[in-house]
Amino acid sequence: MIKHNYPLKNITTIGLGGTCKELICPATITDLLKINKSRKHIYIGNGSNICFITDYYNGSIISLKRMKRFISHDDKYIYCSSNISCNKVSRYLYNNKISGFEFLHGIPGTIGGAIYMNAGAFDDELLRHVHSIELLNSEGNIYIISNKDLRYSYRKSNIDKKSSIIQVTLNNQAKVFNRNILNKLNSIRKNTQPINQLSCGCIFRNPKNQYAAKLIEGAELKGTRVGGIYISRKHSNYFINDGSGTYKEFLKLINIVKNKVFTKYNIELQEEVILVK
């Protein structure tokens, strides 16, 4: 499926941006292989950690949402497609009494997107648990990265951003299953993070030995609004779109936060959200 001049707000969870030249939604790997990747393009999953800061993206946006989703496991590994949501992976493993991945529940996005940015929560991160990753590069070739070739740190990895993650294999860890862990983490998330609102997750990375949310709150910015975009009163590192916001207001609020935090703490915040022009 190909759609031209498609509204960018329809493919991201914060709902901002103008239009794109074309949105491509392949249904199979064969369809994915046929796409001309020599021109400007970007891959997206749920669009939960990305914001388009442009009136017109002059390229192709390739969404894997229509491709088949799957997850399975054996005694050693967990196999899943890159377009399956973190929530579904966490719930599947919970239902099969496989522990160690409860932290994924509530992370807004797909496993593929979470792999790229080494997403995490509650003092854990996804790339610690990866056995191997199957990808498609810009030349149309499929290749595999094993755990020993991965290099990663907080919200970073050495995975080629021009490649598309197709499948992920996770280690099935021998951990004692505790039925209460997922419910506990889910309760904490609901009590501390805004849900069912237009947002793109955390805006800024946590500086070393600091929490961006605490710095923003300490700078007395909680609730600050620019037009239709405002800082959540529930979690200061979340920006909320009330439905009328624009990407220009979003960028202005980012700059306000960075300037005030730097002025007060001499700390320069770095964006965690991916900004695409």
Q: Which residues are catalytic?
A: 155, 202, 272
The full length of the chain comes to 277
Classify 127 as helix, strand or coil. helix
Q: Bridge-partner residues for 198, per DSSP?
A: 241
Q: How far is CA 269 from the centre of its chain?
A: 18
Q: How far is CA 13 from the centre of its chain?
A: 10
Outline where the chain has alpha helix (H). 29-34, 86-95, 111-116, 179-192, 212-218, 247-265
Contact residues for 235 (Cβ-Cβ < 8 A; gap 6+):
192, 193, 194, 213
Burial class of 40 by CB neighbour count within 10 A (0 to 12, 13 to 18, 19+): exposed
Number of other CB atoms surrounding residue 180 within 10 Å: 8
Distance CA 158, CA 236 (A): 29
Distance CA 25, CA 46 (A): 12
Distance CA 202, CA 173 (A): 28
